[in-house]
Amino acid sequence: MPHEPNIQTSPALVVIFGASGDLTKRKLIPALYQLWCEGRLSPKFAILGVARSGFDDAGWRRELYDFNPKAFDAAKWAQFAPCIHYVAADSTRDAGWPAITDRVREVGREHGTGENILFYLSVSPQHFEPVIGHIGTSGLVTEGRAYCSILEHRPWQRIVIEKPFGSDPASARQLNMALAHVFEEESTYRIDHYLGKELVQNLMVLRFANSLFEPIWNEKYIDHVQITASETVGVESRGSYYDSPSGGAMRDMVQSHLLQVLSVVAMEPPVSLDAVDVRTEKVKVFKALRVPTPAEVPFVAVRGQYGAGNAAGKALADYRTEGGVAGDSQVDTYAAMKFFVDTWRWGGVPFYLRSGKAMAKKCTEIVVYFKRAPHSLFRSHLKGGNPNQLLISIHPDEGVRIRFAGKEPGTGLKINDVVMEFDYVEQWKVEPPDGYATLLHDAIRGDQTLFKHRDEIDCSWSAVQPVLDYWAENPDANLPNYAAGSWGPAAADEMMGRDGRHWRTH
């Protein structure tokens, strides 16, 4: 966690593999530029982009700037740009590596970054292992060398790896092994941009900097928790990635981002903010996730796929007609799943997670539903509406809202829901910053708190794999089963209905 956010990093060279990709232009470079503008990077700092496209330094700088000039101040960009370099090479093949290692050393010398290197893997998942293997044999990773340990300021090399982190437990384990051959766990940064989101970090502050919530943060007072990430967009240009045996909403969102959010909701208070202490508590949550049996799957998980419709004012075609998508695709563009965290604190409390594309609203939120008062004096006046809720809006309307019953004005007794709110933008007068700046700063500083531990990956795959297996073995003849622009398939409402609950609607 960035508990020392303004700290300036040690000298560092960030080497981005997959430099010509969308993520680099949209997120990574703007985030590094922001950190540079805020003076949070060492003056000895440089970026080296690696990709096959034939740019030189000047051409790549232009490409980055022109992608979204509004993200940069022209004068500041002119000062920042000289630290950006590029090498055109294929990092998946032996032949590309002499050029890459030469350039890494050259740029390191030019900017005085020494041997400190943050490798950033922003390549397609099938290239992860070849690139990691080549980094290992390049001689650029010196961290493990015996002499380093006796130096006070020893050089470091770290690796940041984007999702998808495997597509099932076996492939994730294999990727973890490939990483472990080259990097220590302490140097491995499995990134999840949801953990960089302001309101997710704020959740830790809300829980552990206040005494108000923690006493009621357990099965005695909490009825259930809902975590939603709905999007209005369809698969857009990502059809061929999404519509594969390793795609779909369960893998793309639930197994990764939403289970990470769940772990922050459910973790025990760590003994300190130290990365090891925080991650230890998160790992315990992952280990306590109940793994459904095949027979339970139809009762705890729902898959959906969108048909044609209108989402956020935009007409969307049937998923199966999108580019790169099979005409008889079984891939889930919507997934909902009920989880249990089998611990003393959470015994019997369901966590309902759902995520979908082409839904009614773009919304990422956590809602904690509290149990009803044990004896309600006002039973006859309550409209039978919602019990108390704590709503953490991650996006949009970032903030925290508490819903409770209040008396309506007037002489008679009328009770209605009222809301007490902390609105992030209104309070701080700024838009929430992009998570990538936080996460990159942490990685360069060597703070792993907001990155996933190997064990979290293992357990999160184990918890969803029975569902994925069941879905693969039992094709659903009803797909597509929700119209674009709706709140998902009826089966998801039925799953809630069986438990006497319903999804929060907007």
Site map 121..140 versus ligand BG6, x via CB under 6 A: --------------------
Name residues whose C-beta falls within 8 Å of residue 291's C-beta, 6 or more positions apart in sequence: 462, 463, 465, 466
Pairing between β-strand 314-316 and β-strand 309-311 as defined by DSSP bridges: antiparallel
The Cα 88–Cα 423 span in angstroms is: 46
364 binds ligand BG6 (CB under 6 A): yes
Q: Which residues, 158 to 187, sit near ligand BG6 by CB under 6 A?
A: 163
For residue 44, give the nearest of 108, 1, 88 by alpha carbon.
108
143 binds ligand BG6 (CB under 6 A): no
Decide if 436 contacts 196 (C-beta within 8 A).
yes
90, 143, 243, 252: which one binds ligand BG6 (CB under 6 A): 252
Q: Which CB atom, from 127 or from 287, has the smaller least distance to ligand BG6?
A: 127
231 binds ligand BG6 (CB under 6 A): yes
101 binds ligand BG6 (CB under 6 A): no
Q: Which of 85, 193, 257, 453 is catalytic?
A: 257
41, 179, 229, 301: which one binds ligand BG6 (CB under 6 A): 229
At 365, which helix (H) or strand (E)?
A: strand 363-370
**CA 417 vs CA 387, 403, 424: distances in Å:** 9, 6, 22
Decide if 219 contacts 346 (C-beta within 8 A).
yes
434 binds ligand BG6 (CB under 6 A): no
Tell me phi and psi for residue 401, to 5 degrees.
-130, 140
The Cα 449–Cα 275 span in angstroms is: 4
255 binds ligand BG6 (CB under 6 A): no
Number of residues that bind ligand BG6 (CB under 6 A): 5
Q: Which CB atom, from 10 or from 364, has the smaller least distance to ligand BG6?
A: 364
Decide if 338 contacts 287 (C-beta within 8 A).
no
Q: For this structure, is 257 an active site residue?
A: yes
CB of 232 to ligand BG6, least distance (A): 10
318 binds ligand BG6 (CB under 6 A): no
CB of 217 to ligand BG6, least distance (A): 25
Name residues whose C-beta falls within 8 Å of residue 128's C-beta, 6 or more positions apart in sequence: 121, 161, 175, 178
Task: State both tokens at 310.
Answer: 């209108």
CB of 16 to ligand BG6, least distance (A): 18
CB of 356 to ligand BG6, least distance (A): 11
Q: Which CB atom, from 90 or from 192, has the smaller least distance to ligand BG6?
A: 192
At 158, which helix (H) or strand (E)?
A: strand 157-161
R_g of the chain computed on alpha carbons: 24
Q: Which CB atom, from 229 or from 358, has the smaller least distance to ligand BG6?
A: 229
Q: Which CB atom, from 231 or from 442, has the smaller least distance to ligand BG6?
A: 231
CB of 273 to ligand BG6, least distance (A): 24
CB of 362 to ligand BG6, least distance (A): 8
The Cα 443–Cα 440 span in angstroms is: 5
DSSP output for 27-61: IIHHHHHHHHHTT-S-SSEEEEEEESS---HHHHH
Which residue's C-beta sits nearest to ligand BG6?
252
Q: Which CB atom, from 111 or from 190, has the smaller least distance to ligand BG6?
A: 190
Q: Which CB atom, from 143 or from 252, has the smaller least distance to ligand BG6?
A: 252
Q: How far is CA 170 from the centre of its chain?
A: 21
The Cα 180–Cα 329 span in angstroms is: 36
Q: Which CB atom, from 40 or from 163, has the smaller least distance to ligand BG6?
A: 163
Which residues in this chain contact ligand BG6 in the complex, by CB under 6 A?
A: 163, 229, 231, 252, 364
Active-site residue set: 257
